[in-house]
Structure 1
Amino acid sequence: MSTLFEPYTLRSLTAANRVWMPPMCQYSAAPEGPLTGAPTDWHFQHYGARAAGGTGLIIVEATGVSPEGRISPYDLGIWNDAQVEAFRRITTFFKSQNTIPGIQLGHAGRKASTDRPWKGGAPLGPEDHGWQAVAPSAVPFDDTHPAPAELTADGIAEIVQQFADAARRSLDAGFEVAEIHGAHGYLIGQFLSPHSNRRTDEYGGSYENRTRFALEVVDAVRAVWPDELPLFFRISATDWLAGEAGWTADETVRFAAELQAHGVDLIDVSTGGNAAGVRIPVGPGYQVPFAARIRGEAGVPVAAVGLITEVEQAEKIVSNGEADAVLLGRELLRDPSFARHAARELGADVHVPDQYHRSV
């Protein structure tokens, strides 16, 4: 029996397998008009193909809790009812394919208001649908980004409420897993790290202060997210900066236990993204050891990411207890039916649409 294709239960939900899809921005929403931030036909076919391909759980890409929280003007958002209605088409299809629908709720902070990656990803001004970015401190991400506006205490409280409102709308849209985006140098990660957080109030300085905003967001979301449904948190386990210059793996292990105490059910473990120009030792499964450490030392369920591309590799990560599930990014972009192909190779069962039974 393949461990990769054993069902996995969190609260009342059971994923049919451990092959999951992580959030990956498509930068394909309308930047203006009545359907700004709403999913389009592109999103439906993109996510639908992976659901039909047997993926057990799909987490829809980073979705802005406010217009200013998007990474780019072309990102998804869930701050109004028109967006909710557009998402329902996707979540309904997921469920018809035995795929759990998840959504990642995020705020880009100082990395907001940028162009699409294939257009260079440069910061955008108002003439190109851009806006003023905000952050814990007025420290730009790099030399190409303008300085963000430092958030006031009232501004922080407003964003916490936006996360809660977005979670409530996500539930209405049919999502069954909510993931809070605390990774890759976006707003929550900016608060966590002393590299980007230079505040001197109750949100900066000590570990307890730097984690305060993240826990406030978690508490606000958990308060509106049903007890029977899981809550995930994506984290960058390290900034890849030496010493105490940034967020560290030791802090991540400590924080994972605190997140669990606040109602988080699973940690989606990535790394990096908060410091420009750092050298990251990229290679097959290079982030898996961070997930394994969190699972082993904090006792919190985890999903592993990072150049997991081979069936045997994915099976080994789960069967060895390094992670409870694997999130396959680039590989699912290349092969929407990875789960079905993996099940065939491992002699396991997976959902196959009736229309595709000739492919079995």
Structure 2
Amino acid sequence: MTLLDERSTSRPSPASPASPAIATAGPASAAKAAAKPVFEGTKHRGEQIALYAVVILPFLAFAAAVPVAWGWGLNWTDVVLFLTFYIPSGLGITVGYHRLFTHSSFKAKRPLRIGLAIAGSLAIEGPVIRWVADHRRHHAFSDKDGDPHSPWRYGETVPALMKGLAFAHIGWMFDVEHTNREKFTPDLMRDKDIARVDRLFPLWAAVSLLAPAALGGLLTSSWAGALSAFFWASLVRIFVLHHVTWSINSVCHAIGERPFAARDKSANFWPLAILSFGESWHNMHHADPTSARHGVLRGQIDESARVIWLFEKLGWATDVRWPKPERLAKLRVVAGE
């Protein structure tokens, strides 16, 4: 199986629900965006070095986590700081980067939009516009030629799937070509607030790494406390956040249940539900991409949907696209249930 053999001419279906910016634009703007190539240049050397550092350093910290905890212990300050930074940065990805900016599952007041963009940046998964462009491209070509991270890239045999899972989980990020932001995210590029947050990504990444250490040092009045907080609440936290997100791209397109009709092989994988804030109900998400809730069946925990519900009650979010019972019933009937 080859992916996107003609990269300069391939484009998503105009009807794709993954491109709300194009779908809601005027006819001329939509046609202009659709005509643009899928890619817009390559990663420069600095980006590639930074990517290796962001992948390797948290991995080394996680590999050392067990012996460190066994030898020196894990104190409550580190646990609290881990959660203090994990929760908002994780929700910044799921509620902000994903459900708001990628799929327009709701509209947010200006301060909330900016806050969610910054919170997502703290996860160090990339600048908001770049992340959204990649994800909209994923939905436009999901598990087909052109999908940036399909685990079925190399075929359906066991060896091919193992290779594909590794690629979908982490290998795809080392592709030197950039998704064309003008094609997939013209709406965000026109948003001055979001464009500013996007440009300041190095600052947010630095804050995400250094703030836990600073707080750890202040709370314990020691350099040891600062170093311990940096280890647990910065490096280990980033490792967990990254691999949970990457598992949605890999595992949740290969393993799990598929109760809803989707155009791809997306699946619900319950073990990741809590850590992913409800993102692992991935089959439902691909069946109805703009839905603000992914966990729609009984017992399915979706913390991101709860947060959006709270924003709506506070008046900070409007036009929330909650799943409709008749729509869900139709999707399940089509799926043969």
- Sort the TM-score into its range (normalised by shorter chain): under 0.3
Q: Select the structure that is richer in strand.
A: 1
TM-score normalised to structure 2 length = 0.26
Q: Select the structure that is richer in helix.
A: 2
TM-score normalised to structure 1 length = 0.25
**Structure possessing the higher relative contact order (Cα contacts under 8 Å, 6 or more residues apart):** 2
